[in-house]
Amino acid sequence: MPSQAQHLLPQRISEDVISEKYCKSGERSAEDIFRRVARALASVEAEGQREHWEQRFLENLRAGGYVDGCRKIDLSAQFARARGLMGL
């Protein structure tokens, strides 16, 4: 079942907040942040497994989850509103 956030349009203020608070040099979007975080999380995996885990972490972040002690925590209810406010 799709979350309500998938139907909300991006809002300029949300993009500004993401840019000012979370983007590092050269980043411009939540997708850039997700990629950086996924790459950092995967960096501790065995070298041959890093690409696999980076992709898994990235998919998880795009879906509105986060990683806590190697467990995916489904925060769809809590993230639905926040994701909509962030324009994701």
pLDDT of res. 54: 95
pLDDT by position in tens, the chain (length 88) = 455 555 567 788 888 888 888 899 999 888 999 999 999 989 999 999 999 999 999 998 888 776 555 444 444 544 455 545 545 4
pLDDT of res. 30: 87
> 3-state class of 10 per DSSP?
coil
pLDDT of res. 67: 55
pLDDT of res. 66: 61
